[in-house]
Chain A
């Protein structure tokens, strides 16, 4: 194929929600969706194996679909998306019985999720790295492609596995008691639009914040789950066709709509998982209609488990979305009702439905982008919902300084209704929620001048990963210099040599700190400029012990009976994320963890959390696991 004729997009057919919509006559028409994904062919190393001009797998730059089914002891032939007939029909026809279609759908939805991320962040997305043991410690290796196994498990489960940087989807026969799905039908989680988006989001979030899978407080895994659901839902709503039907049915009132209640419908209908989210957000009345619960801060106080708490985060963001949508359509409805506010009986005019669907999808896209951009403004570890609220407000303030439509107010109000509050702020207004800043860094430093980070949507990902590491060292050098010390102090990074000996030390006995990641984040500059700031994550760590007596000994540098010199029961981490103006070197914002690395109170809070944690309730034989050693935190969290 001539390079000049290469299309920019490839159209691929997928199930709009999951196969279940086809089963009901009312929804059969809505069953299919056509997604546009960036055009890709097989990478060169694979082309050498399977031949040029193909798109087998599919395996591209970001993803490799490897259809191995260990439980059945077999594999399934990889689809070739460049095959003539496949291209001509915009992909294989949706089919539950054809594994090649499953590969196609997983690829298409995953590519869309990645696309949303990259557009929102204005830079190419990276996956989590692979930790490799080297002689002098561990090192993170670049992982080019996320691996997806569409038929990996025989259970009603799907999860992202950080240690293999892959997503595993399960399949299962619908049980005898199943009402919505005919018993005996095989339900494939890889055919659920929302489940695919949810799992790929876990992977993307892990690539951005690798420590967000270390459960050190009750919000950490809940944030992962809630955020993954938010992306899944709003990515879905961003398709106007999907909403058009709902809007027509509910006559524009999305309060009534039960699209939200349909998350992972087939999957949820046959199992607990989707139902859990729907149940957390609403209830089904005796007529079988689903209604949202009214917001109530007490839900957050009572919810202990990751999915329950995550669902509250979803509910809060959804509440904000509804406010935004309503404010955007108020004039349309005024026009349509000619000021009376009362819509005529029967079906709405199709033009009105289209306009409403359009506004809804725009609102959804906007909310989704806000939620994704906020990720750069979060502290590097130990995230709480309150941290995320501040990140949302601050990141949106940077991108849209003039909040013409009061979107930030909608967010604040929604979060408050659900009891999500930031801690340690002066007042809970939009102004009070902004992150700490600006912080002057004093004189310029030569080493900082070398830091030049070019990371946009055209940069090559391997190069970016390499540059990130190199820039990390440069910034580390800058901060370790004399001038840097003052900055570290202001940021709560401890350098005092008298600090507890359990804090990681370097060769010279000084408290170590790690420059964890260096990225760019876009904000509105002057007039039409979009400016890239530097996002830098700085962390420290300290060895933690379950026994306070052991901790006291280790803090003083004394040997702990029965333990090796570098042992610990868990790792306590603190740090901060700073947003730096590349031109002026001013630290514009700082998102800090609660307390610094010397805080015994916060260390104890993590200790108590691990000892009392319900993350894995089945640990009554082995005892509590240190969060950083949990092999598959999401696998367990997804099983009920």
Chain B
């Protein structure tokens, strides 16, 4: 566990195996020949450890970087990407031992961006309403079997059940906001914080030969192209797919999620009734109306027409709402393509980007600092390492072909050496995910895992699968031997893979 030396070229990627969550340490050769460190996310679902303890993971980060991370990237604000930043051992935050040079985030985190502000407010309001509703309707949600699902979504947002930790001694905080505050406090100088808009290309100062291009998060096209004239009578609504994060779906649920003036958790909202009190029939009467409802609806599912009762249906919208919040935050993921300028190889870190984010990746050329331009399809074609979105789940790695109108798995690793070197990294603890109650998380989706295996010829890292258990699937033995050489040092704590820039 010594300090990492700079590789002679390229990027050394250390994928930590803390559990079901992302934590990637990249090491490159800096201008002066020293190691330059980039950390992308650090979090996990409490209780999903594999064999390593999280405190050991963080201690390794401290030692490997010598207490200094040059660029710290947070793709999006979900528990399993940020909760380790505030992990404490014996009451002391483990990350206190690390200095951070720069902090890179998506534009949605920019406090000075008006649209980001709107999005953030919308998100916070949505989560607030969901929590109030969860509280107010707790008994009904329990009866309908919907509480667990909603709690899972709230936990990812930094609320709700804390979740038990497994073998680790370190303690985790639930609050995602606290983790973000901690990181912002670590980088107090605003000039050292970067908020990426989509399709920005940045040459990394301090690392010759490395360029970073952002693909997501999407920003509404009309915002970006306010001055572009719309052809009369032409519809471009379809182009707006995937653009714009608005959390604008929360209305229509106003009767379910009454907003109140106060922020207090205690105040669960007033009751909203659609009709004047005189119309509502409650309780037990014996009149003709009561007999009417008894005949057709009854009191419980045991009634002969019980299969037509709808006692739970009104609550399904809450579950939908919770998942929609989750998807929108996932779609706010900062997606970065790291390009090694000499070999033009690309490493794609997709955060938890899902369908909406992928669809927003523009088909127009992206201008680079040196005056040339590239396209998303080109970048993906030269991708040799793909950090698989959202634990390899359905809808986070898209199906398609090279002719599809939107980016998809088929576009990745098509060109030149990418074909022979393509490697995928799935940050997932599959057995833990499949054991989630009441409904298992299918992470990774077997069909996506299979497609990745086929493309990478077996060179697919997955958190819960030891390196020794990985097998070649087709492809040449030479390519596999080379892959094993580059993965030297992989252990229970991390996978260690070097992408040479040659």
Residues on A lying within 8 angstroms of B by beta carbon are: 45-46, 49-51, 56-57, 59, 64, 66, 68-78, 97-99, 130, 147, 149, 151-157, 161, 164-166, 168, 170-175, 177-178, 186, 188, 270-272, 279-280, 283, 291, 293-294, 299, 302-304, 308, 546-547, 608, 611-612, 614, 617-624, 632, 635-636, 639-640
Contacts and interface: CB of A to CB of B under 8 A. Distances in A.
A294 B232 CA distance: 10
B323 to A, nearest CB: 4
Interface stretch (B103-111, B171-179, B246-254, B487-495): B246-254
A151 B396 CA distance: 36
28 contacts: A49-B292, A49-B295, A68-B293, A74-B281, A77-B281, A78-B289, A99-B275, A130-B307, A153-B313, A153-B317, A155-B314, A155-B317, A172-B253, A175-B251, A188-B274, A270-B252, A280-B237, A293-B235, A302-B239, A308-B237, A547-B447, A611-B394, A621-B442, A621-B443, A622-B394, A623-B394, A639-B249, A640-B249
A240 B314 CA distance: 37
Contact of B292 (A56, A303, A620): A56
A273 to B, nearest CB: 9
Interface stretch (B82-90, B194-202, B371-379, B398-406): B398-406
Interface in B134-175: 152
B293 A293 contact: no
B448 to A, nearest CB: 8
Nearest to B395: A620
B354 A617 contact: yes
Contacts of A620: 323, 326-327, 330, 354, 390, 393-396
Nearest to A45: B295
Nearest to A608: B399
A155 to B, nearest CB: 4
A608 B393 CA distance: 15
B292 A547 contact: no
A531 to B, nearest CB: 38
Contact of B313 (A156, A168, A612, A619): A168
B296 interface: yes
Contacts of B282: 73-75
Interface string B304-335: 00011111111011001001101100100000
Given A73-B282, A617-B327, A635 B310 contact: no
A154 B255 contact: yes
B310 A149 contact: yes
A72 B274 contact: yes
Contacts of A46: 292, 295
B121 interface: no
B412 to A, nearest CB: 16
A32 B281 CA distance: 29
Contacts of B320: 618, 636, 639
Nearest to B295: A49
A547 B446 contact: yes
Give the top 3 A-B pairs by smallest Cβ distance, nearest first.
A156-B252, A175-B251, A154-B255
Contact of B447 (A49, A546, A639): A546
A156 B288 contact: no
Contacts of B441: 621-622
A635 B316 contact: yes
Nearest to A621: B441
B362 to A, nearest CB: 15
Contacts of B395: 614, 617, 619-620
A60 B116 CA distance: 54
A241 B76 CA distance: 55
Contacts of B237: 279-280, 308
Contacts of B275: 76, 97, 99
B450 interface: yes
A157 B308 CA distance: 19
A71 B442 CA distance: 32
A156 B238 contact: no
B367 interface: no
- How many chain B residues sit at the interface, stated as a range, is 35 or more
A270 B248 CA distance: 12
B207 interface: no
Nearest to B251: A175
Contacts of A153: 313-314, 317
Tell me the interface secondary structure of chain A in the complex. Answer: mixed
Contact of B255 (A45, A173, A270, A636): A173
B432 interface: no
Given A51-B288, A618-B320, A620-B390, A168 B310 contact: yes
B394 A294 contact: no
Given A186-B255, A620-B394, A621-B323, 13 more contacts: A46-B292, A68-B297, A68-B310, A71-B255, A71-B256, A98-B279, A99-B279, A152-B314, A153-B317, A611-B447, A620-B390, A636-B320, A639-B320
B252 to A, nearest CB: 3
A165 B307 CA distance: 10
Given A153-B314, A611-B399, A75 B288 contact: no
A328 to B, nearest CB: 27
B292 A78 contact: yes
Contacts of B255: 71, 154-155, 171-173, 186
A283 B235 contact: yes
Contacts of A304: 241
Contacts of B445: 623-624
A351 B312 CA distance: 54
A291 B233 contact: yes
Contacts of A49: 288, 291-292, 295
A48 to B, nearest CB: 9
Contacts of B390: 620
Given A49-B295, A68-B293, A76-B275, A622 B442 contact: yes
A623 B393 contact: yes
Contacts of B405: 302
A283 to B, nearest CB: 7
Given A69-B274, A76-B275, A612-B398, A271 B296 contact: no
A76 B279 contact: yes
A308 B293 contact: no
A64 B296 contact: yes
Interface in B409-444: 439-443
A304 B356 CA distance: 12
Nearest to B394: A623
A283 B313 contact: no
Given A73-B282, A76-B279, A186-B274, A175 B254 contact: yes
Contacts of A130: 307
B476 interface: no
Nearest to B288: A50
Given A70-B314, A155-B256, A271-B252, A75 B330 contact: no
Q: Taking each of B296, B393, B396, which has the highest tally of chain A beta carbons within 10 Å of its own beta carbon? A: B296
Interface in B227-283: 233-235, 237-239, 241, 249, 251-256, 272-276, 279-282
Interface in B437-472: 439-443, 445-447, 450
A45 B296 CA distance: 11
A51 B289 CA distance: 11
B233 A294 contact: yes
B386 interface: no
Nearest to A607: B447
A120 to B, nearest CB: 28
Residue of B295, B311, B312 most packed against chain A (CB within 10 A):
B295
B24 interface: no
Contact of A75 (B254, B281, B295, B394): B281
Contacts of A617: 327, 354-356, 395
A294 to B, nearest CB: 5
B442 A623 contact: yes
Given A173-B255, A291-B233, A76 B355 contact: no
B253 A154 contact: yes
A163 B311 CA distance: 14
A597 to B, nearest CB: 22
A66 B296 contact: yes
